[in-house]
C-alpha cells in the first residue's frame, strides 16, 4: 500500500464497471508520434532544399570570385532561408487543425521556439554578410556601407526596422526572460512578427537578386506568403467567429474546486455537433469589458457531453484570477479545439495517467473516455497537500464507475522525493512497460516523470505528454 501525507492512507479504488468503446482514426494518425514529426520535419526540410536550389540556380559560379562576392552570395542564401523559416514560424502557430492533430500544439510550440532561433540568426547573418560583402566589393568602410544600404536602397529602411522587431521578439522569447513576463504581454509582443514580415516583404522583390529579374521566383515566393497568410486568417480569425455565430457560447456558471482553483462552465447551441475531444484545449476569450482582448489556453476538465464545456484553472495571474468573477451570460469566443493529447494516442490495452497541479484537468477528462476494462486504468495525482486535490470527488466517482485505481501522492518534494522515482511508479503500475502513459503538469514535473519512465524501459512511443508552456 502506498504511503500518503498525514491524515491520508493509501488509496486504491477498484470497482468493476463497463469500459468505454472507441473507434480509432485512420490515415496518418495511426503513425507513431515520432513518425509523424519526422514526416512534417521532412516537408519543412524539402522546402528549405527548394529554397537553396532557387539560390543555386540563379547564382552563376563565375560571379562568386573574391571575398566580397562570396560574402554577398552567403548573405543572399541566408536571407532566403531565414525568410522561409520565418514563414514556417507563422505556419507552426497558425493553429491549422490537421497540423495540430498530427503533432500536438505543445510540440508545435517547441518547434516554433527552436525554429525562431534559427530564423532570426540566419536573418542577422544575412544583414551582416550582405553589408560586409558590399563593403569589400566597393572598397568602402562598414559604417559608411551600412548607412548607404539602409538609407539608399529601396525599402531597406523598412526591412531594417522589421529585422529589429524580429530580434526583439527573439530576445523576449529566451527562457530566462519568457518566465518573467505575463502570458498576454508575451502574446502581444509576438504579434510584431506579422509587422516585421510586412515591412520586409517589399525589399525582397526590389533589392533581392533572386527576385528582381526572375518573375517565376516572385510568383512562388508571393504564393508562399499568400497561402500561409490565408491559413492564419482562416484558423485564427474566421473559424472562431464562425463557431461563435453558430454555437453562441456563453458562461452558465462557475464552481470553486480547491483553494485558488475554479471551474467555468460554458454552454451553447448544438454542442452535440461541436467537434471536440477529451484532452484537448481552447484559447478562451471571455468577452467582458476587461478581458475581451485576451485569449488564454485552458484544457477541458470534463469530457464533452453535448450540454456544456468546462475548464478548470488555477489562479496564477490577473486573467485566471478574474475567472471567478464571470457572470452567467458572458459571451465566449473559442479558438480551437487544439491538442493531440487524446484517446487517439492510445496504443496499448492499459493506461497509466500521471498528473500534478492543474495538469489533472485534461487527464480527468481522458479518464471518462479512454477505452478500458476494469483494472486497465491507473490514475496518479501528485499534490503538495490534500486541500489542493482539485476534482478529487469526481476522480473517485470515475474510479468507481470505470474500475480504475487512483493513487494520491500528497506531500512536499523535500519530504517525499521518492514519489515519482522509478521504483515507486513500478509499485503503482507493475506492468508499466506494457502501458500507454499520459503525463500532464509543469515542465519540471513532466521531465522528472519522463526520466523515471525511461529508466523503467517504457518505450518513448507509449509516453504521451501535454505541456502548459507556449
Residue 229 CB neighbours (<10 A): 17
- Measured CA to CA, the distance from residue 270 to residue 306 in angstroms comes to 7
- pLDDT of 179 reads 67
Among 6, 170, 209, 29, CA closest to 89: 170
Pull the grid cell for residue 464. Answer: 504521451
Distances (CA, A) of 90 to 99, 235, 238: 13, 12, 17
Q: What are the b/e assignments for 378-411, b being 16+ CB within 10 Å?
A: bbbbbbeebebbbbbebbbebbeebbbbbbbbbb
CB 459 within 8 A of CB 438: no
* DSSP-derived pairing of the beta strands 332-338 and 281-286: antiparallel
Among 319, 333, 402, 413, CA closest to 367: 402
Residue 189 CB neighbours (<10 A): 15
- For residue 428, the SS3 value is helix
- Measured CA to CA, the distance from residue 320 to residue 65 in angstroms comes to 60
- Measured CA to CA, the distance from residue 220 to residue 218 in angstroms comes to 6
- pLDDT of 294 reads 83
Distances (CA, A) of 335 to 115, 183, 281, 289: 24, 16, 9, 19
- Measured CA to CA, the distance from residue 108 to residue 339 in angstroms comes to 10
> Which strand (E) or helix (H) includes residue 112?
helix 105-138
CB 355 within 8 A of CB 330: no
Pull the grid cell for residue 20. Answer: 468505454
- Measured CA to CA, the distance from residue 384 to residue 4 in angstroms comes to 11
Calculate the CA dihedral of residues 316, 378, 376, 359 and round it to 10 degrees.
Answer: 10
Strand intervals (E) in 200-308? 250-258, 261-267, 281-286, 296-299
- For residue 211, the SS3 value is coil
- pLDDT of 6 reads 32
Cα atoms in the Cβ-side hemisphere of radius 13 Å centred on 437: 28
Q: Give me the count of residues in the chain.
A: 470
- pLDDT of 176 reads 62
CB 307 within 8 A of CB 322: no
- pLDDT of 398 reads 94
CB 413 within 8 A of CB 421: no
- pLDDT of 307 reads 95
- Measured CA to CA, the distance from residue 200 to residue 203 in angstroms comes to 6
CB 349 within 8 A of CB 378: no
pLDDT-flagged residues of the chain (< 70): 1-33, 60-65, 175-179, 181-184, 207-209, 212, 316-320, 467-470
- pLDDT of 30 reads 63
- pLDDT of 61 reads 57
Mean pLDDT of the chain: 85
- For residue 24, the SS3 value is coil
> 108: which strand partners?
none
- pLDDT of 333 reads 96
- pLDDT of 28 reads 61
Phi then psi dihedrals of residue 403, to 5 deg: 70, 40
Phi then psi dihedrals of residue 300, to 5 deg: -70, 135
Instruction: Give the list of residues 6+ apart from residue 455 with CB closer than 8 angstroms, or none.
Output: 422
* DSSP-derived pairing of the beta strands 435-440 and 463-466: parallel
Among 352, 357, 382, 355, CA closest to 370: 352
CB 403 within 8 A of CB 16: yes
Amino acid at each position: 500500500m502506498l504511503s500518503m501525507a498525514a491524515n491520508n492512507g493509501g488509496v486504491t479504488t477498484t470497482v468493476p464497471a463497463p469500459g468505454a468503446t472507441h473507434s480509432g482514426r485512420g490515415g496518418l494518425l495511426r503513425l507513431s508520434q515520432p513518425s509523424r514529426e519526422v514526416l512534417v520535419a521532412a516537408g519543412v526540410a524539402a522546402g528549405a532544399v527548394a529554397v537553396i536550389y532557387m539560390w543555386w540556380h540563379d547564382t552563376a559560379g563565375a560571379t562568386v570570385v573574391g571575398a566580397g562576392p562570396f560574402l554577398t552570395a552567403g548573405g543572399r542564401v541566408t536571407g532566403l532561408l531565414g525568410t522561409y523559416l520565418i514563414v514556417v514560424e507563422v505556419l507552426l502557430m497558425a493553429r491549422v487543425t490537421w497540423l495540430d492533430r498530427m503533432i500536438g500544439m505543445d510540440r508545435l510550440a517547441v518547434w516554433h521556439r527552436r525554429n525562431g532561433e534559427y530564423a532570426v540568426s540566419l536573418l542577422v547573418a544575412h544583414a551582416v554578410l550582405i553589408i560586409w560583402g558590399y563593403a569589400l566589393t566597393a572598397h568602402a568602410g562598414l559604417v559608411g556601407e551600412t548607412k548607404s544600404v539602409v538609407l539608399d536602397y529601396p525599402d531597406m529602411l523598412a526591412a531594417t526596422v522589421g529585422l529589429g522587431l524580429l530580434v526583439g521578439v527573439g530576445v523576449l522569447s529566451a527562457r530566462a526572460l519568457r518566465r518573467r513576463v505575463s502570458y498576454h504581454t508575451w502574446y502581444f509582443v509576438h504579434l510584431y512578427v506579422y509587422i516585421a514580415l510586412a515591412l520586409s516583404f517589399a525589399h525582397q522583390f526590389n533589392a533581392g537578386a533572386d527576385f528582381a529579374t526572375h518573375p517565376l521566383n516572385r510568383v512562388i515566393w508571393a504564393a508562399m506568403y499568400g497561402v500561409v497568410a490565408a491559413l492564419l486568417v482562416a484558423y485564427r480569425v474566421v473559424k472562431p467567429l464562425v463557431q461563435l455565430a453558430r454555437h453562441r457560447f456563453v458562461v452558465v456558471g462557475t464552481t470553486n474546486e480547491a483553494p485558488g482553483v475554479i471551474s467555468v462552465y460554458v454552454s451553447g447551441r448544438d454542442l452535440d455537433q461541436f467537434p471536440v475531444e477529451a484532452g484537448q484545449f481552447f484559447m478562451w476569450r471571455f468577452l467582458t469589458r476587461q478581458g475581451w482582448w485576451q485569449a488564454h489556453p485552458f484544457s477541458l476538465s470534463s469530457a464533452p457531453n453535448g450540454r456544456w464545456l468546462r475548464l478548470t484553472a488555477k489562479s496564477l495571474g490577473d486573467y485566471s484570477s478574474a475567472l471567478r468573477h464571470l457572470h452567467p451570460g458572458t459571451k465566449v469566443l473559442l479558438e480551437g479545439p487544439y491538442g493531440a493529447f487524446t484517446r487517439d494516442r492510445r496504443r496499448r490495452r492499459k493506461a497509466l495517467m500521471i498528473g500534478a497541479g492543474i495538469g489533472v484537468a485534461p487527464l480527468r477528462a481522458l479518464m471518462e473516455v479512454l477505452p478500458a476494462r476494469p483494472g486497465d486504468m491507473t490514475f496518479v495525482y501528485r499534490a503538495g497537500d490534500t486541500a489542493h486535490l482539485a476534482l478529487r470527488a469526481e476522480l473517485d466517482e470515475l474510479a468507481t464507475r470505470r474500475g480504475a485505481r487512483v493513487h494520491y501522492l500528497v506531500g512536499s518534494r523535500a519530504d517525499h522525493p521518492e514519489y515519482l522515482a522509478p521504483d515507486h511508479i513500478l509499485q503503482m503500475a507493475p506492468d508499466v512497460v506494457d502501458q500507454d502513459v499520459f503525463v500532464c503538469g509543469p515542465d519540471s514535473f513532466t521531465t522528472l516523470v519522463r526520466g523515471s519512465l525511461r529508466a523503467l524501459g517504457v518505450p518513448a512511443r507509449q509516453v504521451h505528454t501535454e505541456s502548459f508552456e507556449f
